[in-house]
Amino acid sequence: MISIKPLLAVLVSLLVVPILVSSRTPNVREAWTFAAASAKFLIVVSMVPAVLRGEQLVYTVAQVIPGAPIAFRVDPLGMLFALVASSLWIVTTAYSIGYMRGLGEHGQTRYFCFFAIALSSTIGVAFSANLLTLYLFYEILSLATYPLVTHHQDAEARVSGRKYLVYILGTSIGLVLPAMLICYHLSGTLAFSDQGFLAGTGPPQLMTILLFMFVFGFAKAAILPFHGWLPAAMVAPTPVSALLHAVAVVKVGVFSIVRVLTGVFGIELLSWLNLGTIVCVIASCTILIASLIALSQDNLKRLLAFSTIGQLSYIILGVGLLSPKGITGGVLHIAMHAFGKITLFFCAGAIFVATGKRNISEMVGIGRRMPVTMTAFFIGALSITGLPPAGGFLSKWYLGLGTLQADQITMLVVLLVSSLLNAAYFMPIVYRAFFCPAEMAMFENRVQEAPAFCVVPLVLTALISIILLFYPEPFFSLARLVAQGVTGG
């Protein structure tokens, strides 16, 4: 079904850019951002019923290269991701206002402007109908996030910005671009399809090389050893870390890999060449190593970054299992992890705004000072660890079932060990925040939370994390549709 809605969903936040630049009053500027975010969300939501009915909305923007136009296609996988990103943009906008004004940051107009561009390209990636369009928005996202990462414009930001560009642009130009061209040369098309388009086009060795080029080339997914940019990017203001480095940017990387695995290679080809196992091994190494590194971090945001690196590979692992339940779990984890992790980042930011503290060792007893924030933190941590009553439990449950369905007991062990590690690095923070002896507490026994613009969003995302366990729609149906589509049943 041809529909212009996907294009509108992408462009609506770009339309706000000129207005952002020209407006001189912050309140008007933020009102526009809210309007754009809400409009984007509504457009995305309006497409949900059609997608749930099994229809696909398509729209071609320009015929640039034969077999590879700039075109959009809305399918369950893209819809799930777009829903997560566009809904969290609204929440993050509110949070940004509290955070940026609370700290009196400079260059706020630039900040909101590039935030809008970043969200545009995120939705663009989600709705891409082919590899070329995906690459286009992937690159725009890389470039649009650079000014956000380096927002502080100091020496530290400069170093991190360089690292960011080297990893992200280096891999996308150096690995993904050639891989994409080889795919085009092999098959004459780049359009994603449920069965993939590479089957029977080249020798197995070439397929393996291509797989490596794609999996490592989408460095936004932060698979080891291409993860170094993510902890460095934590110099950015916290809302950037929260939305972009827990949801949009990193998930774009993971989404691209999932898209390539299912829509370019196809599950059948992957299992025939046994490439799924390779993906699983790469992902599980990343999961375990990142979790171990996270244990040793003192800076809260860096800890969250390493935790993110581990959690991202859960999604890849789930798809690499090639079993319907594993894919369901992996795709569902895109949503569950997003709500859990953004809560944690919001909390880290709120703590910074309220107390100026960044390190965990300085947060002993902070539960008495900021009870709401730390309770939300606890819920987020539960979700990431995969414990009820938070939504993360559901996706991990399905991932576990997926390992059994695929007969990969080793991977089940990896999942369990990793969950233990997650608990090991999160729970001490929560425990010491609430249950430390009075003489060790670093804060007075007086409740003083961050501004309401900071606290309300994080309470909201924490609540959603809980609700998602009991009512995981429409994410769960979408994830199931993805699994059905790509496994053919």
Partner 1 sequence: MSSQYPGLLIIVPLLSALLISVAGWVNKRLCFPIAVVGLSVALYASIGLLLRVLAADPALDGGVVLYRLGGWDPPWGIAYYVDRLNALVLVVVSVSALLNLIATKNDVRESFSTKIGAFYTLYILLVTGLLGITVTGDAFNLYVLLEITALTGYGLIAMGGEYRAPLASLNYVYMGTIGACFYLLGVGYLYMITGSLNMADIASILPGLYDSKVVLAAFVICMVGVWLKMGFFPLHAWLPNAYTYAPSAVSSLIAPLMTKVMIYVMIRLMLTVFTPEFTFSVLALQTSVVWLAVIAIVMGSILALGAPDVKKMLTYIIVAEVGYMVGGAWLGNRAGMTGSILHIANDALMTLCVFLAVGNVVYRVKGYGFDDLRGIFVKMPFTMIGFVAGAFSIIGVPPTCGFFSKWYLISGGIEAGHYGFVAALVFSSLINAVLFFKLIEVGYYGSEDAHHHHGTTPVSMAEAPVSMVVPLLIVAGGLIAVGLYTGDIVARIIDPVIAQTIMD
Q: How far apart are CA 487 and CA 344, in angstroms?
A: 34
The nearer residue to partner 1, 259 or 333, going by C-beta atoms, is 259
Number of residues that bind partner 1 (CB under 8 A): 36
Strand partners, 74: 57
Identified binder of partner 1 from the candidate list 185, 274, 452, 470, rule CB under 8 A: 185
Question: Can you read off the two tokens belonging to residue 146?
Answer: 């650079």
Task: Give 370's DSSP letter.
Answer: -
Question: Can you read off the two tokens belonging to residue 118?
Answer: 């970043």
The nearer residue to partner 1, 162 or 358, going by C-beta atoms, is 162
154 binds partner 1 (CB under 8 A): yes
Of 179, 84, 166, 87, residue with least CA distance to 134: 179
Task: Give 273's DSSP letter.
Answer: T
Least separation in angstroms between residue 202's CB and partner 1 is 12
Q: How far apart are CA 392 and CA 92, in angstroms?
A: 20
* Residues 7-26 close enough to bind partner 1 by CB under 8 A: none
Q: How far apart are CA 371 and CA 25, in angstroms?
A: 34
CB 363 within 8 A of CB 436: no
Of 459, 434, 444, residue with least CA distance to 372: 459
Q: How far apart are CA 298 and CA 300, in angstroms?
A: 6
Alpha-carbon torsion (325, 331, 333, 339), positive or negative = negative
CB 474 within 8 A of CB 83: yes
Residue type, 323: S
Phi, psi (degrees; rounded to nearest 5) at 98: -60, -45
Q: How far apart are CA 40 and CA 115, in angstroms?
A: 14
132 binds partner 1 (CB under 8 A): yes
Segment lying near partner 1 (by CB under 8 A), choices 30-38, 99-107, 375-383, 446-454 = 99-107
The nearer residue to partner 1, 151 or 432, going by C-beta atoms, is 151
Site string for partner 1, 45-84 (x = CB under 8 A): ----------------xxxxxx--xx--------------
114 binds partner 1 (CB under 8 A): no
Identified binder of partner 1 from the candidate list 99, 111, 135, 197, rule CB under 8 A: 135
Q: How far apart are CA 163 and CA 232, in angstroms?
A: 7
Of 249, 251, 465, 248, residue with least CA distance to 347: 465
Segment lying near partner 1 (by CB under 8 A), choices 29-37, 48-56, 174-182, 401-409 = 174-182
101 binds partner 1 (CB under 8 A): no
352 binds partner 1 (CB under 8 A): no
Q: How far apart are CA 93 and CA 99, in angstroms?
A: 10
The nearer residue to partner 1, 140 or 417, going by C-beta atoms, is 140
Identified binder of partner 1 from the candidate list 1, 25, 27, 104, rule CB under 8 A: 104
463 binds partner 1 (CB under 8 A): no
209 binds partner 1 (CB under 8 A): no
The nearer residue to partner 1, 119 or 478, going by C-beta atoms, is 119
Least separation in angstroms between residue 160's CB and partner 1 is 12
Identified binder of partner 1 from the candidate list 162, 163, 357, 358, rule CB under 8 A: 162
441 binds partner 1 (CB under 8 A): no
Q: How far apart are CA 356 and CA 103, in angstroms?
A: 10
217 binds partner 1 (CB under 8 A): no
The nearer residue to partner 1, 153 or 359, going by C-beta atoms, is 153
In the chain, count H helices and then E strands.
Answer: 23, 2
The nearer residue to partner 1, 143 or 417, going by C-beta atoms, is 143
Question: Can you read off the two tokens belonging to residue 302?
Answer: 């860096």
Segment lying near partner 1 (by CB under 8 A), choices 11-19, 131-139, 211-219, 293-301 = 131-139
The nearer residue to partner 1, 50 or 61, going by C-beta atoms, is 61
Q: Centre a 10 Å sphere on the Cβ of residue 193 and count the other Cβ atoms it contains.
A: 16
Segment lying near partner 1 (by CB under 8 A), choices 7-15, 130-138, 383-391, 411-419 = 130-138
The residues that touch partner 1, with contacts defined as CB under 8 A, are 61-66, 69-70, 104-106, 132, 135-136, 139-140, 143, 147, 150, 152-154, 158, 161-162, 165, 169-170, 173-174, 177-178, 181-182, 184-185
